[in-house]
Structure 1
């Protein structure tokens, strides 16, 4: 983990493994460019085919650093950190507003199951930048007075607080957004066959090989490091929320990082992990956390009206055994 660049109170470690076929590309394929690095408290892996065989790592690292300067709560001088200490903020970089707009959408569509104003609760439970572990019970009723996306107002130029001490935390959506920004950067360079992955959040375009789709593995939450299944990912993004990686124990209790912004409590449910497939990674990243909070049945009901989204949910059944729920749109990809 890189100190100072961590976004995630949600998923710090990758929940996916990109599976590379052993056979080499055919002679008609462009050579694959492979870039690896560290960013946002995790690692990134980017693969693409480029007629000009450009190595874009320097530019990609620069983009990621700029996103951090805007959205990372671990940087005291980032835009979001400065807004959290003030009453209003005028946007300086092009990254703040798009994340706010998507957050507003997911907040509204999920009736508050996703809410980036959850920062006071995140810190109280010991998952914030200060890393102060829980020593006393959290007064969630009091802290809930400081939570609520409706307590901010914004447009494309600036944001202001409608109630003092409201603070933002984009941990549940910023990493997916970063994947989209890098995907759009590659496309701006004329690259239309790529896989971008940051900390397990993934987006692809085009084919991996002339007759090969990108194939992604979904990790087994009960056996970290082992794959539960694989999926083809074609011109789409996928992200996961789960509570089995980022947690800690205090006074004999286990505390996980996913907090219900409507109750102020850390989520305890039968759901072990939620993988969301969407047209872009920011959408998948926002909804995976919301679905985890909503639970299995509410998520099923929600998806009946959202055919643009698919999910792969791992949960514990009434018999105590691990089970999965897979939307119809994904079954043909297995």
Structure 2
């Protein structure tokens, strides 16, 4: 995700509520990325209470669902693959029920069981390599959300080597949940930015609509367009930052579980504006995998969503995307 909220960022230590003019700014690191919340609270006590609850919830969410935490629920489920059922509380049952909807909405492109493929296409190692076809075929055989068995209060991965990774929608879900925490605290004006997955409500501290910059995939770090929003989510999917090269070919970090290979099409980035950050993120990633023309149709057909797909040779926009462009 490559969105930038265009305001000056302070240098104060992460994890503190920092006064910023008429608004507050909370910064911390979680889920492998920098997180920032800008908000205007009705009073100091409300702002402090919101900040504490938001940080506490994010920390608990990561501790429970990150596959990188050896003691997390997800890690315990993965370790028990092919052997044992693992108990779920009501919160986890709701999240995995959401995963059912994610899988259907994205046509199986965002598959929470894609971990075997993510492991063999590990671009984060010091010397990434292209796995051979046999390894890819073996990993693909262990991928398939429809194979996961769930009963009331428990879950089971039926084959050793299967594994869950909720990175396809977990961060976006967290952004929306923090927006709901803000609403419960009576905070009407808020921007939540977790690694450039964004959700906004209300207005910025100066009364203007929130301004969000779309990064130029051809020139990372520069703004391609500016978007205005006062409610909903904005997310971008692209692989022009995270990739590796081997044998003269470029391999991005977004894997298509249907083929077992990184996406290789004309798309450079997809930005979606939707009613929630979760919807925006799911549509952006799915459209990126589908490619320009089919991806644009997917976004166009989704109620309440607009998008822009930047390809190597052209650009696709849905009919109403222009309404968000400054």
Q: TM-score range by the shorter chain?
A: 0.7 to 0.9
Structure 2 counterpart SS, 1:76: coil
Task: Please tell me whether the aligned partners of residues 293 and 316 of structure 2 are also in contact (alpha carbons under 8 angstroms).
Answer: no
Runs of 5+ unmatched residues, structure 2: 9-20
**Which residue number corresponds to residue 56 of structure 2?**
62
Give the Cα separation in 1 of the matches to 2:151 and 2:192.
30
**Which stretch shows the higher mean deviation, 290-299 or 75-84?**
290-299
Structure 2 counterpart SS, 1:272: strand
Partner deviation per Cα, 1:5-33 (whole Å, 9 max, x = no partner)? xxxxxx5xxx1111239xxxxxxxx9211
**Which residue number corresponds to residue 228 of structure 1?**
224
Structure 1 counterpart SS, 2:57: helix
Question: 1:221–1:38: structure 2 CA closer, same or farther, 3 Å change rule?
Answer: same
Match of 1:88 among 67, 85, 90: 85
Match of 1:259 among 255, 259, 268: 255
Q: CA deviation at 1:47?
A: 0.8
Structure-to-structure mapping, 1:283-294, within 5 angstroms: 283-294=279-290
Question: 1:158–1:281: structure 2 CA closer, same or farther, 3 Å change rule?
Answer: farther
Does residue 130 of structure 2 align to residue 143 of structure 1? no
Structure 1 counterpart SS, 2:235: strand
Give the Cα separation in 1 of the matches to 2:165 and 2:299.
26
Structure 1 counterpart SS, 2:262: coil
**Which residue number corresponds to residue 214 of structure 1?**
210
Match of 2:27 among 36, 45, 48: 36
Give the Cα separation in 1 of the matches to 2:206 and 2:129.
52
**Which stretch shows the higher mean deviation, 217-226 or 102-111?**
102-111
Give TM-score, length-normalised by structure 1.
Answer: 0.84
Give the Cα separation in 1 of the matches to 2:104 and 2:126.
30
Does residue 312 of structure 2 align to residue 316 of structure 1? yes
The total of aligned residue pairs comes to: 306
Give TM-score, length-normalised by structure 2.
Answer: 0.86
Does residue 158 of structure 2 align to residue 158 of structure 1? no
Structure 1 counterpart SS, 2:259: coil
**Which residue number corresponds to residue 17 of structure 2?**
none
Structure 2 counterpart SS, 1:74: coil
Give the Cα separation in 2 of the matches to 1:274 and 1:261.
19
Give the Cα separation in 2 of the matches to 1:210 and 1:156.
49
Does residue 114 of structure 2 align to residue 118 of structure 1? yes
Match of 2:7 among 10, 16, 20: 20
Question: 1:80–1:93: structure 2 CA closer, same or farther, 3 Å change rule?
Answer: farther
Structure 2 counterpart SS, 1:208: coil
**Which residue number corresponds to residue 15 of structure 2?**
none
**Which residue number corresponds to residue 49 of structure 1?**
40
Task: Please tell me whether the aligned partners of residues 49 and 193 of structure 1 are also in contact (alpha carbons under 8 angstroms).
Answer: yes
Match of 1:104 among 100, 107, 110: 100
**Which residue number corresponds to residue 128 of structure 2?**
133
Task: Please tell me whether the aligned partners of residues 99 and 173 of structure 1 are also in contact (alpha carbons under 8 angstroms).
Answer: no
Give the Cα separation in 1 of the matches to 2:23 and 2:150.
42
**Which residue number corresponds to residue 291 of structure 2?**
295
**Which residue number corresponds to residue 324 of structure 2?**
333
Task: Please tell me whether the aligned partners of residues 23 and 205 of structure 2 are also in contact (alpha carbons under 8 angstroms).
Answer: no
Question: 1:196–1:136: structure 2 CA closer, same or farther, 3 Å change rule?
Answer: closer
Q: CA deviation at 1:258?
A: 0.5
